[in-house]
Structure 1
């Protein structure tokens, strides 16, 4: 993130921090986007940037994804670990065959179950990789092969005026396969997520325009601190699962992209 963009982010955060909690709760400072890892061209370079070497396979970590993806621009991925909330500090998602393999990284608070759903871009057939990191710093991984029938990392970019909005829903599930009183949080953000590899009709490259930082804030406390790259699909979609959340609690979501645009939204947890 450029210094000018970061100053704008912090200025907005400070202004909103003065609002009552019920209006918008948010963190004052955002983490710097991890350019070294997100701009790396090979999975081995991403792992080196994360200091993740000789990573063992995790039997309790699962990736649900289609065996064949008709359109690589929108591939739904579900990550699920049997670990308890608070046992994992991070989940990271990579696509080995993408031009830049690191898709997203999620720092999870102790109320967040290590399960999430998102939609990603896949350039070609290859392995989708999930890295889990325990609170003691140890890494584990899981991999799944996905066959891609149409490249999703170049041709779907569109040259159009930028406008964004956000839809959120937070619902308390009294009973669910994940346990009792789990809150399901769904987020969709309208954003072009341009990779910088798409072209205009005249053949000129469209500049990259993608979300870099997203934070989920529960009653004033950051519970998900996410960073994303160009591998997240257009109009980013996320589902998280939260523990120890009550009906009426306020959840805010704040994001910023590589051009300095930002968005904010909030929702109250319903039954």
Structure 2
């Protein structure tokens, strides 16, 4: 379901004030500067992350060669325990705007995630991990891109969206949450059949709410692939717990989904 204004009274929004996502967007002064920056060094500067050391324990799982740069699956994993990592930021060094997404984690979330991104050309994928004590670490992985994924032809079709979610236990207190949001994720750099640029239309914010508490607060740019896909891992979560996902895009559309953890 999508809408231009939040509807009062919906259960899934009961724990969030009206317009919360929009307020959060404006409250993040680094957001626009970091996502609009065209150089990785400028993104790092906006994130106050210059001269960050490499950490061999952080892993980036991505293909060595990406035949289609429009859909490149990336998995980022840190061996740290849930609650010890505040955020993971994902960059693609060779993209027109390198910052792909930023994920802030609550204490229940394992520092591990999976998503699919667009890569314009060969270059490094960068994972920037911030510990709860404030220390920053990074890891990089080179990916060869055979086809530009950021500027392919597309049509500006009528917008319709939906969301699919699955939450299943992996052990006694660990739940795997998978999310797919149907959304065009247009970059604003692609051309339609008439040769004209198709206006940008992309999801900007997403929140995962566990039993009324925000546990993942994500900001996303144009380089998340069409129909955004995410996997998160939640500790201290069990069968019967309720998980809600809320999102908002750059045109003001908003949507939600809800799932109950089941065996």
Q: Give 1:213's aligned residue.
A: 205
Aligned counterpart for 1:187 among listed residues 168, 176, 179: 179
Aligned length: 253
* Cα displacement (A) at 1:157: 3.2
Q: Deviation per CA, 1:154-212, whole angstroms, max 9, x where unpaired? A: 105332111000000000122xxxxx531000000000000000111221110000000
Contact 1:248 1:270 (8 Å CA) reproduced: yes
* Cα displacement (A) at 1:27: 2.7
Contact 2:187 2:202 (8 Å CA) reproduced: yes
Distance 1:156 1:256 in 2: 24
When normalised by structure 1's length, the TM-score is 0.90
Contact 1:43 1:96 (8 Å CA) reproduced: yes
Distance 1:170 1:222 in 2: 16
Q: Give 2:6's aligned residue.
A: 12
Distance 1:65 1:243 in 2: 25
Distance 2:149 2:44 in 1: 23
Which 5+ residue runs of structure 2 have no aligned equivalent? none
Distance 2:109 2:15 in 1: 17
Pairing 1:146–2:132 present = no
Aligned counterpart for 2:16 among listed residues 7, 17, 27: 27
Q: Deviation per CA, 1:224-260, whole angstroms, max 9, x where unpaired? A: 0000000000000000000001111100000000000
Aligned counterpart for 2:91 among listed residues 89, 94, 99: 94
Query: CA RMSD of the aligned region, Å?
Result: 1.5
Aligned counterpart for 1:113 among listed residues 78, 103, 110: 110
* Cα displacement (A) at 1:78: 0.3
Distance 1:104 1:25 in 2: 26
Q: Deviation per CA, 1:25-77, whole angstroms, max 9, x where unpaired? A: 54322321611100100000000000111100112210000000000000000
* Cα displacement (A) at 1:136: 1.9
Deviates more, 1:148-157 or 1:42-51: 148-157
After TM superposition, list the pairs within 5 Å mapping 1:37-186 onto structure 2. 37-174=34-171, 180-186=172-178
Distance 2:243 2:217 in 1: 13
Contact 1:40 1:101 (8 Å CA) reproduced: yes
Moved over 4 A (4+): 23-26
**Secondary structure of 1:207's partner?**
coil
Q: Give 1:3's aligned residue.
A: none
Which 5+ residue runs of structure 1 have no aligned equivalent? 1-7, 175-179
1:26–1:229 CA distance, 2 compared to 1 (3 A): farther
When normalised by structure 2's length, the TM-score is 0.92
Pairing 1:258–2:254 present = no
**Secondary structure of 1:32's partner?**
helix
Aligned counterpart for 2:231 among listed residues 214, 239, 243: 239
Distance 2:89 2:15 in 1: 23
